[in-house]
């Protein structure tokens, strides 16, 4: 499980004296615990790896946005810090689907559902996320679905 890998990596980073990595891993653990607490009140049960992957994807997206803002603002030292955190986060994310794999999945879903126009975009995206949510880049998938249906 991804959660166990993160715990093991945290212990190794602490023993190795890598303060930045330890801080990033502790931040990941804290976000996962926050999500666990949110999940307690939800009636929708998620697989543990799915929950952790969702947290990691959200954290990675936040880091990418921060990096872009810091670089456009000329704050390279802060951008470098965010890049280091992003590298730690990405270690635990599953390999994302390539553009070709996403396009093949979209074509299969279109064939199964009979989608052919932009009005069917929600159905195609919903099915795509249901089948491949953990390894799917939502932004890229959305653009490819739009392209495919237009």
Q: Which residue has the tokens 């959200």?
A: 58
CB 89 within 8 A of CB 59: yes
User: For 25-78, how does the pLDDT look when each residue is reduced to its tens digit (9 = 90+)?
Assistant: 999 999 999 998 888 887 777 778 888 888 998 999 999 999 999 999 999 999
CB 88 within 8 A of CB 113: no
95/4 Cα distance (integer angstroms): 18
Nearest to 35 by CA among 4, 7, 3, 1: 3
**Which pLDDT value is given to residue 102?**
87
Nearest to 94 by CA among 134, 60, 132: 134
Q: What is the pTM of this model?
A: 0.74
User: For 79-136, how does the pLDDT look when each residue is reduced to its tens digit (9 = 90+)?
Assistant: 999 999 999 999 998 888 888 888 888 888 888 888 778 888 888 888 888 888 777 8
**Which pLDDT value is given to residue 15?**
96
């Amino acid at each position: 499980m991804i959660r166990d890998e993160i715990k093991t990596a945290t212990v190794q980073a602490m023993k190795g004296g890598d303060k930045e990595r330890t801080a990033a891993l502790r931040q990941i653990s804290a976000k996962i615990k926050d999500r666990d607490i949110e999940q307690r009140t939800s009636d929708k049960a998620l697989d543990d790896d799915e929950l952790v992957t969702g947290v990691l994807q959200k954290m990675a997206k936040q880091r990418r946005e921060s990096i872009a803002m810091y670089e456009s603002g000329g704050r390279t030292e802060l951008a470098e810090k965010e890049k280091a955190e992003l590298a730690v986060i990405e270690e635990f994310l599953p390999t994302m689907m390539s553009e070709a794999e996403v396009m093949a999945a979209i074509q299969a879903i279109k064939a199964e559902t009979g989608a052919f126009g932009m009005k069917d975009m929600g159905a195609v995206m919903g099915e795509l996320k249901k089948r491949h949510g953990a390894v799917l880049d939502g932004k890229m998938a959305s653009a490819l679905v739009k392209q495919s249906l237009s």
